[in-house]
Amino acid sequence: MRSNRINRSNALTRLGPETIIQTQPGPRSGRRVPTDVSNPQYYHKVVDCQWACPAHTNVPEYIRLIAQGRYTESYLLNRESNVFPGILGRTCDRPCEPACRRGRVDGKPVAICRLKRVAADLRDDIHEFLPAIPAQKNGKRVALVGAGPASLTVANDLMPLGYEVVIYEKHQRAGGLMRVNIPSFRLPAEVLDEETQIILDMGVDIRYETPVTSMAALLSDGYDAVFVGSGAPKGKELELPGRHETDQVFIGIEWLANVHFGHVDRIGERVLIIGVGNTAMDCCRTSRRLGGKDIKVIARRSRPYFKASPWELEDAEEEGVQIVENHSPKRFVLEKGKLVGMEMDRLRWVEQNGKQKSEILETVLLPCDSVILAIGQENSFPWIERDTGVGFDDENMPIVDKKTFASTRAGVFFGGDAAWGPENIIWAVEHGHQAAISIHNHCMGIPLDERPAYGMNLVSAKVGMHSWSYSNDYSPAPRMKMTHAELTKRFSKLSVEVELGFTLEQTVAEVERCLNCDIETHFTSNLCIECDACVDVCPVSCLTIAPDGPEPDLRTRLSAPALNLTQDVYVSAALPQTKRVMVKDEDVCLHCGLCAERCPTAAWDMRQFDLLVPYAGRRLPIATLPSGHVDRPVSAA
Ligand SMILES: Cc1cc2nc3c(=O)[nH]c(=O)nc-3n(C[C@H](O)[C@H](O)[C@H](O)COP(=O)(O)OP(=O)(O)OC[C@H]3O[C@@H](n4cnc5c(N)ncnc54)[C@H](O)[C@@H]3O)c2cc1C
Ligand code: SF4
Ligand code: SF4
């Protein structure tokens, strides 16, 4: 047994605005009923990383598999939900990391994304573990427009069910923006090729260099369903004086695609990148490799408002890119037809009536040879006739149902960036999973809103009197830092990968930082003798036995007040002796198991929670399974 005392107040003060945790109405919402832990979403929410992941990847289990050297299993577990573990292990936007419980303990989340890459890099061949593709097809044909991550996920989910899937792709290769926009120094072509090919090898009929130019024509081909995964392919313009008087102003996503296709291999020495999102980061770092020496990224606001991920900013600055805050472009300056700079207003932001307003301090000239515009992307559907029944709103965006991904025309679905504008790969994947469920329902005559249920397995982690099937010691190790290629080496060629991956030592240290949030505390109220042993031993004071009351009041009467309202408190049924209740603040629990080790009656147990995520055509157990592990059924419905 351990006696690590963690400073709880420290953990609480670490909660900052960057701790983004999705919320849903708590199961108790003021009513005096015990917490319903048979609802899979209760324990799911406790696993902060899995809850925040759009595809609900089982992070703690894949980290434990890595810890055991079971890389292939870890990869396969990842693949089930996020489909592209090698790609995402390098490029994911990582919404899981700001949510990670470890960040609330020592300020630094587990390096979840980088560990995913470890599994991808060290796995064996997985082909024998992929789902079998039926030789006998089910008679349904589905057309997918575009071969980006959204469409590829739809294909991945439908092929094992016997569908004939045809993908129309305007380029020569699959991958979408992952291929033509994400630079190869972040995502090597081999990784992309391998993971896209796994899906195409399921027997997908992919037609390259075949842009769909008419939805009406596609619909007349008699497909049972159509999925639009054509992305948000249009970069935003910046119509300022001088914009069209030079050939040295480029639109970021077009420019990156031209670099990918080899149409562009140089840029001016002095480059201004307008915008400070992730596209801007790829533009500035690519410029650095194509001859740019003095590269400035121009931001209208100050750093806390930047859209770029902190790690991308860090990488760009490491490569000598300068970030210029609080500047607003005014005009392109040309001399004798040659671009020589941009005039900008230098701004100061002041708060007025709760709103930020800008004041111009001065107008400055920033010299440059080239400008890249990276101020956003837009959707564009010139190929969808407006009389096909596929409805569009006032902003020319398709009308798409948030739950079913259905358009206003039966049998036509949207997903990925095409549905609601630019997002990221992991959202495109999740859209693909949900759209595949809808396409399957549509083709099988099941109502679209009849979604397959989530399920769960909950199995005791006890393997001895005081031992558990997981490593429950708190590791004080700091977050491991990824080693990068030497600056001189990485600028020698566009395709030199910058991040080198974790070493074995780093992997060992990082996996131990995970708190195993899926090993859940499970309480059986009628076994409790109210001895307070668990309350006393808990290192973060998250347990209290107290008289029952409304939740807002109860939260203030705990051993330490439960201040984070985005996290639930667990409330037991009335305890046998005094009718008080056991209350647990889920926010700060370390999943250390000390309460269960100390409890003399085994009222507390540590149980491994396994969320059963439904996919197209897969049945799931309806009821909660109290014990014994059941493999995920993968048979077609
Ligand atoms: C510069 C840049 C960097 C990015 N970096 C990251 C990152 O690091 N991590 C991250 O998670 N996300 C990143 N993203 C976002 C991510 O790439 C996208 O959100 C994701 O690729 C969207 O997937 P999708 O399948 O919806 O569409 P896309 O990936 O855009 O794929 C759409 C496909 O449809 C094809 N197509 C379009 N129209 C037609 C047509 N009419 N007929 C046939 N084919 C058509 C296109 O050629 C393309 O292959 C980045 C985006 C950009 C621009
Ligand atoms: S500590 Fe581990 S299980 Fe908990 S949120 Fe972070 S990565 Fe997920
Ligand atoms: S597992 Fe039990 S003892 Fe450990 S932090 Fe959570 S409630 Fe406290």
**How far apart, in whole angstroms, are the C-alpha atoms of residue 487 and residue 185?**
12
> For atom 2 of ligand 2, which residue has the closest CA?
514
Return the ligand number nearest the Cα of 593. 3
Question: Which 3-state string (H, E, C) describes 239-261?
Answer: CCCCCCCCCCEEEHHHHHHHHHC
Spatial neighbors of 282 by CB under 8 A, at least 6 apart, are: 181, 182, 183, 186, 252, 256
- Ligand 3 pocket, mutate which of 538, 586, 607 (most atoms under 8 A from CB): 538
H helices present in 68-188, as ranges: 71-82, 85-91, 96-99, 102-106, 112-122, 149-158, 177-180
> How many CB atoms sit inside 10 A of residue 7's CB?
13
Ligand 3 contacts (CB < 6 A) are 521, 537-540, 542-543, 584, 589-595
Q: What is the pLDDT of residues 284-341, one digit of tens each?
A: 999 999 999 999 999 999 999 999 988 999 999 999 999 999 999 999 999 999 999 9
**Widest pairwise Cα distance in the chain:** 90
Distance 176 CA to ligand 1 centre (A): 4
Q: What is the pLDDT of residues 559-572, one digit of tens each?
A: 899 999 999 999 99
Ligand 2 contacts (CB < 6 A) are 47-49, 59-60, 100-102, 110, 112, 514-517
> For atom 4 of ligand 3, which residue has the closest CA?
592
User: What CATH code would you report for 131-233+379-444?
Assistant: 3.50.50.60
Q: Which two tokens stand for residue 327?
A: 């500047």
Handedness of CA 81, 84, 86, 88 (dihedral sign): negative
**How far apart, in whole angstroms, are the C-alpha atoms of residue 518 and residue 74?**
16
Q: Is 488 helix (H, G, I), strand (E, B) or coil?
A: helix
**How far apart, in whole angstroms, are the C-alpha atoms of residue 516 and residue 102?**
10
**How far apart, in whole angstroms, are the C-alpha atoms of residue 131 and residue 203?**
12
Q: What is the pLDDT of residues 248-290, one digit of tens each?
A: 999 999 999 999 999 999 999 999 999 999 899 999 999 999 9
Whose structure tokens read 């393997």? 463
HSE, side-chain direction, 13 A CA sphere, residue 374: 31
Label residue 356 by pLDDT band (50, 70, 90): confident
> How many CB atoms sit inside 10 A of residue 526's CB?
11
Top-tier CATH class for 236-375:
alpha beta
| Start-end of CATH 3.50.50.60 domains in the chain | 131-233+379-444, 236-375
Using the atom order of ligand 2, give the atom closest to the CA of residue 48.
Answer: 5
> For atom 6 of ligand 2, which residue has the closest CA?
100
Across the chain, mean pLDDT equals 91
Using the atom order of ligand 1, give the atom closest to the CA of residue 181.
Answer: 1
**How far apart, in whole angstroms, are the C-alpha atoms of residue 182 and residue 186?**
7
Distance 276 CA to ligand 3 centre (A): 42
**Residue 29 pLDDT > 50, yes or no?**
no
Alpha-carbon distance values, 334 to 252, 267, 366 (Å) = 21, 17, 12
H helices present in 261-321, as ranges: 278-289, 310-318
Return the ligand number nearest the Cα of 102. 2
Are 21 and 52 in contact, with CB atoms under 8 Å apart?
yes
